[in-house]
Structure 1
Amino acid sequence: MRGADDGAFEGIGAEFDPDAVVWVRGVDYVAGWREAREAAAELETALTAVGVEVEGTAAAQTRGDGSGVVRVVWSPETVRAVARLICDTA
């Protein structure tokens, strides 16, 4: 699991102002974020298991409708390694 002190949120929302966002009553933003966080962790675990060094983070976010989104921030080297892995298994 990632937390505020492990660098996972570095550069993401450092100036986040919750009052500057439109929150829709009844939308479960936490559930979408939690699903995205779990998916990001699964991705990082799978890539590490096949030998791809994950330099960067996969950060969980939520869309306005409450659905989860995973934002991936990797170095070009990591992206190329993932692309090679996909091509080799296709």
Structure 2
Amino acid sequence: MDGIGDGTFDGEDLDLDALLWVRGADYLTGWRDATQAAAKLSDALTAAGVNKTGTKLRAATDANGSGVVRVELAATTARKVALLARVAAARWHQAG
């Protein structure tokens, strides 16, 4: 993960909106949820045969504490994921 305090933070990914904290928001639960979702997405990409070289999945939270997963893909990987999503959507619509 690229973030403040992990030794790889270079300032390029600094999101000032992400630094605003709302009193009472449960950021830890949101981050844990995002971490689990990122792991599931990573496993799904692997199962689909997607080459994850250069892929970054980052767990984070939004301003209200909800978990979010930030995804960075190489262009070739993004095209393959888009194709996989189209194929899955077509099968889903045919099954319904």
Same fold (TM over 0.5): yes
SS of structure 2 residue aligned to 1:60: strand
**Consecutive aligned runs of 4 or more in structure 1 exceeding 6 Å deviation:** none
1:6-31 deviation per Cα after TM superposition (whole angstroms, max 9, x unaligned): xx31xx55246xxx933222211010
User: What is the alpha-carbon root mean square deviation over aligned residues?
Assistant: 1.9
> In structure 2, what is the equivalent of residue 57 of structure 1?
56
- Distance between the aligned counterparts of 2:86 and 2:20, measured in 1? 41
> In structure 1, what is the equivalent of residue 22 of structure 2?
24
- Distance between the aligned counterparts of 1:44 and 1:50, measured in 2? 10
TM-score, normalised via structure 2 length: 0.71
- Distance between the aligned counterparts of 1:54 and 1:42, measured in 2? 14
Point out the structure with max Rg over C-alpha: 2
- Distance between the aligned counterparts of 2:21 and 2:86, measured in 1? 41
TM-score, normalised via structure 1 length: 0.75
Q: Percent identity among equivalent residues?
A: 46
- Distance between the aligned counterparts of 1:71 and 1:60, measured in 2? 6
1:45-81 deviation per Cα after TM superposition (whole angstroms, max 9, x unaligned): 0110111112311101111100011100010011011
Q: Whose helix fraction is larger, Structure 1's or Structure 2's? A: 2
- Distance between the aligned counterparts of 2:31 and 2:72, measured in 1? 17
Q: 5+ unaligned residues in a row in structure 2: which ranges? A: 91-96
